[in-house]
Amino acid sequence: MTTELENLQVTKYSLALHTTTPELGLAISNFADDTRSQVWNLGRDLSSLVHQYLIEFIQPQTWSDLDFLAVAKGPGGFTGTRIGVVLARTLGQQLDIPVFAISTLAAVAWAEKESQQADAIAVEMPAQRGQVFGAIYQSSPDVCGLTTLLPDTVFTPEVWQETLANWNTTYKLIAAKSELAATVTSILELAYLDWQQGKRPNWSEALPYYGQHPVDV
């Protein structure tokens, strides 16, 4: 059975935001002949400058040109992740368009799909208090994107290593440490694959994934 995939009208665009690190990553595309992306290292100024950069970035497109939004939902920095998800939810509500919340780790895995020689892609990222975020994905041979074999989870380093040691297929391990905002294009592509399959998540469904409490309790 084949699934009829939908495509954006060439006059319509989709926009992705990545704010889970001190960098701001933005990408916009009509998935035909116009795609652009950019990354800025804003540091502590991210919260105060993100709206200005976003308004300038989407030009010459306008808000009415957007068919859906995508946002990195984490894991990542607590404040940056919250800023991006809240902004995407607000825009989605105001524009009445779907909002896709995509895992930061899934975006890293998708960016590495072309070099995948193993059955799976394992992604690890440092977390607070000596722990680690980990997830394992499989790149589908068709247009379905990624299959989640192990969802984003917080591990102690020992348990994560034990999980990998006991994994029953070959995998490629990727360490996600820096310059993650560059995977904003992967955020957009993964959202588009879901959009093509008819998924239309309401803005209220876009929730951040923190994994940990921001302070030790």
Q: How far apart are the C-alpha atoms of 33 and 83, rounded to whole Å?
A: 30
Give how many domains the chain has, as a whole number: 2
Strand-pair category, 171-175 with 120-126: parallel
Q: For residues 152 and 103, is the Cβ–Cβ distance under 8 A? A: yes
The region that residue 127 occupies, defined by phi over 0 for left and psi between -120 and 50 for alpha, beta otherwise, is beta
Both tokens assigned to 91: 């825009």
Q: Give me the helices (H) in the chain, please.
A: 46-58, 78-95, 104-111, 157-165, 184-196
pTM above threshold 0.85: yes
CA 174 to chain centre: 16
Is residue 22, in this structure, part of any structural domain at all?
Answer: yes
Q: How many CB atoms lie within 10 A of CB 15?
A: 27
My answer on whether 100 and 127 are in the same domain is: no
How far is it, in rounded angstroms, from Cα 24 to Cα 127? 20
Per-residue pLDDT 10s for the chain (217 aa) are: 345 567 766 679 999 999 999 999 999 999 998 999 999 999 999 999 999 999 999 999 999 999 999 999 999 999 999 999 999 999 999 999 999 999 999 999 999 887 666 789 999 999 999 999 999 999 876 656 899 999 999 999 999 999 999 999 999 999 998 789 999 999 999 999 999 999 999 999 999 999 876 544 4
Q: What is the pLDDT of residue 143?
A: 56
Domain span holding position 91: 13-104+178-205
30 and 99 inside one domain: yes
Residue 145: predicted pLDDT: 80
The neighbour count for residue 47, using CB atoms within 10 Å, is 14
Residues 6+ apart with CB under 8 A from 187: 16, 17, 18, 25, 27, 70, 71, 72, 102, 107
Q: Does residue 200 belong to any structural domain of this protein?
A: yes
Q: Same domain for 73 and 57?
A: yes
Q: Are 177 and 106 in contact (CB under 8 A)?
A: no
Residue 2: what pLDDT? 44
Q: What is the CA radius of gyration of the chain?
A: 17
Residue 194: predicted pLDDT = 93
* Judgement on whether residues 148 and 201 belong to the same structural domain of the protein: no
Q: Which residues pair with 28 in a beta bridge?
A: 15, 36
In angstroms, the Cα distances linking 181 to 4, 148, 165, 176 are 32, 21, 30, 11
Residue 212 is predicted with a pLDDT of 72
Q: pLDDT tens digit string along 83-136?
A: 999 999 999 999 999 999 999 999 999 998 876 667 899 999 999 999 999 999
Task: Tell whether 32 and 97 lie within a shared domain.
Answer: yes
The CATH number that applies at residue 50 is: 3.30.420.40
Give the distance from CA 76 to its chain's centroid.
Answer: 11
Inside any domain, residue 148: yes
